[in-house]
Structure 1
Amino acid sequence: MVALTTAIGLMSGTSMDGIDVAVLRTDGEAVVQQGPSLFVPYDDAFRARIEAGLKTAKTIAKRAERPGDLAELERDLTLRHAQAVQAFRTQYQDWRAELVGFHGQTILHRPGEALTVQLGDGALLARETGLPVVYDMRAADMTAGGQGAPLVPAYHQALANSLAPDFRAKMPVAFVNIGGISNVTYVPADGDPIAFDSGPGNQLIDQWMQREGDMAFDEDGNTAAKGSSSAKIVGDYLRLPFFSYPAPKSLDRGDFSLAGLEGLSLSDGARTLAALAAEAVFAARNHMPEEPELWILCGGGRKNPHIVGDLRRLAGTTGTVVVAAEDVGLDGDAMEAEAWAYLAVRSQQGLPLTWPATTGCRKPMPGGVLVQP
């Protein structure tokens, strides 16, 4: 009988809106049993502290550096994660976790300099929760020449192999996580996955709404629904060098800006950036060996009807199908947190988290740091 580990995964992504908590039981390879999930939002003041921390982080030259108030921010962020774990364990007492996978908050990602920084004190989290914690899962990949991202493809591959037969027959499958930054995992019928960041997702839309509309995001795409997309501006973005770079490749939150949208109305800007998010995902097919037969969407961007509608229209031109994660029995909100639980188990067992085709590392790489409470 295969030994399963029950692990909690914690994810705080580029949207910086809060902590996703999810639990699963897995052998770290093929067997995945998903459990419940929970979202714990950050208050506006704490989110503002993280945004300020992004600016401070630009001065970091070495991973261990915590200039300014980043050390205090790291401690407070870790304690919030500990509180999220406690809230989850109180609510779902039937799932007795043995391990925690802790992503932390990325504040700097410069793959060209082999530098990535995630705020998060694994030892403190282990003490606070009383559970072993695996964290710092990107660093080993970078020491092996990788981009340090994306890391979720190992989990995407396990999910693809667990799909119902009708969906599994549609290999190759592309998983698309539309968060602040979008990333794509191409899962072939045989062999290792191919993965890379594909471009901006929700991040630019959120920044636009905050700057021009004093709103955190475009809820349900309501603002974009009143506007029109500028094909010229979308085309200008798609001609930026990033889109011609070969895969694997990864992005930092600051790699794209709102430059070029000046003069647009609030609604036209929101609609244009939604179109860009869809076009960037669709352009990812240029870096795939074959056309995926099925696109599976997860992340917050799958709830934007304009991103999804545009992507479905584009995919229709090639005869491929776009579905939400829920359409194939998965949880599109919890998938990244689930992935960190899955990766923690793989890390504990010394299994690879990344491959040359997912991050550009020289060989399949294990990773992560395990700390005991």
Structure 2
Amino acid sequence: MGQQDHLVLGIMSGSSLDGLDFAICRFRLAEGGPFAVAEWEILAAETDPYPPTWKARLRSAPALPGRELWRLHADYGRWTGRRAAAFLAKYPALEPELAGSHGHTIFHDPARGFTTQIGDGAFIAQILGLKTVTEFRSGDLAAEGQGAPLAPVADKYLFPQYDAFLNLGGIANLSLKTPQGEYLAGDISGCCQVLDRLAARAGLAYDDEGKLAAGGSLAPALAQKLDALPFHDLPYPKSLGNAWVRESLWPLIDEMGLPAADALHSFTLWLAEKIAKDLERADTDCSAKTTASTTKQVLISGGGARNTFLVDQLRATQKEENPRFNFLVADRTTGDFKEAALMALCALLRTKGQTNSLSSATGAKRDSVNGALYLP
């Protein structure tokens, strides 16, 4: 059986506005059968922090009039291309054949049939001199899906040894492999963008390892407020946009007026319990016709994977003997750049005409091949 190696650049901007994640990935594809990744690795990766001016522009984007938003779309594409070129210049021996860029999400409203990720791929392609794929969500929306999450594509092809996945980014989401080999997935609630905003009250960019949260006190009334949000009780698959976190979740936390440490402590405990409950409910739905009771291995990625207090609270939700879930933190490179690797993989799948959005994860009528391809 022959094999093919492909070097692909993945570019990701998350909802926490930490910066642009870049990852040069090598994928070795098996030939002679269904699409499969025989081997893969991240050869080089880094996060390029957003300067204050770009943070401000991206935060203000949802309120821009149409003309200015489209200008930002073009400007951000140019800026992304230039930053990606600067990253690639550090690794002249690595020559990607393709780039995949998620763009930055400004609107995500699948109930109304649209999602918006800015960052014009035409500029990225011209600046890099590489075929570039963007717009990874709209094809799934056209098939009546949520357009998210995309992560189960990486879970399927890159991490088949695990049973379930948690990405603790700006928004927390889960993915669970079903007995039929499909993936049930969706967004759980706000995560790092809430934790970072609370840490900012104490003058911190983020709560390092959850130390501030660990020293806080519990405010039980907060959990009651958060549990009452209708989204939290919806069945999977389901997805969130940043607007929901800003407009529905954050005000409930803010109006409590809690000290930063107490708010962090209370939200972290609630989130850990919520994640565990959602995983258990999803696992029950998936396994209703089976009798398997083995402990499921859950891989944790994203910035929240480095929040020791949050991970400890997740593990505390399980019984010491025969836990339903075993929470495993990904290594630093995988944990920080899984989503950038996902973008690289989705771009490669797009050029191969292969599915890069799974209907079992998004609720679409069918699997779909997503992405706008720009040639340099």
TM-score, shorter chain, exceeding 0.5: yes
Residue 298 of structure 2 is matched in structure 1 by 295
Q: Deviations over 1:231-281 (max 9, x none)?
A: 331243123211221111000112132233323111101112222332232
The answer for the alignment partner of 2:84 in structure 1 is 85
Aligned partner of 1:360 in structure 2 is 363
- Counterpart in the other structure of 2:262: 268
User: How far apart are residue 49 of structure 1 and its match?
Assistant: 1.4
Do structure 1's residue 254 and structure 2's residue 243 form an aligned pair? yes
1:47 corresponds to which residue?
Answer: 55
Q: Read off the aligned partner of 1:53 and give its amino acid letter.
A: A
| Unpaired stretches in structure 2, ≥5 consecutive residues | 30-34, 288-292
CA deviation after TM superposition for structure 1 residue 81, in Å = 1.6
Q: Identify the match of residue 209 of structure 1 among 171, 196, 199.
A: 199
- Which deviates further from its counterpart, 122-131 or 228-237? 228-237
Distance 2:250 2:45 in 1: 33
Fraction of identical pairs, as percent = 29
* SS class of match (2:239): coil
Match of 2:228 among 219, 235, 239: 239
2:330 to 321, 325, 350: 325
Instruction: Assess if the C-alpha contact under 8 Å between 1:21 and 1:84 holds in 2.
Output: no
The reply on whether 1:30 has 2:37 as its aligned counterpart is yes
Q: How many angstroms apart in 1 are the aligned matches of 2:319 and 2:369?
A: 38
State the alpha-carbon separation in 1 of the partners of residues 116 and 150 from structure 2: 15
Alignment of 1:275-314 (within 5 A): 275-285=269-279, 286-288=281-283, 289-290=286-287, 293-314=296-317
Moved more, 190-199 or 331-340: 190-199
Q: 1:199 aligns with which of 189, 206, 212?
A: 189
Whether 1:95 aligns to 2:90 is no
Query: For the residues of structure 2 that align with 1:82 and 1:300, how far apart are their CA atoms?
Result: 24
C-alpha change, 1:82 and 1:32, in structure 2 (3 Å) is farther
Secondary structure at the counterpart of residue 22 of structure 1: strand
Quote the offset at 1:30 in angstroms. Answer: 2.1
How far did residue 332 of structure 1 move? Answer: 0.3
Q: Could you tell me how far 1:326 is from its partner in structure 2?
A: 1.5
Q: What is the distance in 2 between the residues matched to 1:85 and 1:260?
A: 38
Report the aligned-residue RMSD. Answer: 2.0
1:73: how far off?
Answer: 2.3
Q: Contact 2:176 / 2:282 at 8 angstroms: preserved in 1? A: no
Query: Greater CA deviation, 238-247 or 146-155?
Result: 238-247
1:314-368: per-residue Cα shift (whole Å, max 9, x none)?
13466031111119xx610010000000000001111111222110110111111
Contact 1:275 1:306 in 2 (8 A): no
Structure 1 alignment gaps of length 5 or more: 57-65, 162-167
For the residue of structure 2 that corresponds to 1:334, the secondary structure is helix
What is the CA–CA distance in structure 1 between the aligned matches of 2:196 and 2:306, rounded to whole Å?
Answer: 14
Alignment of 1:157-196 (within 5 A): 157-161=156-160, 168=161, 173-188=163-178, 190-196=180-186
CA, structure 1 residues 68+225, in 2 after alignment: closer, same or farther (shift >3 Å)?
Answer: farther
CA contact (8 A) 1:146 1:359 kept: yes
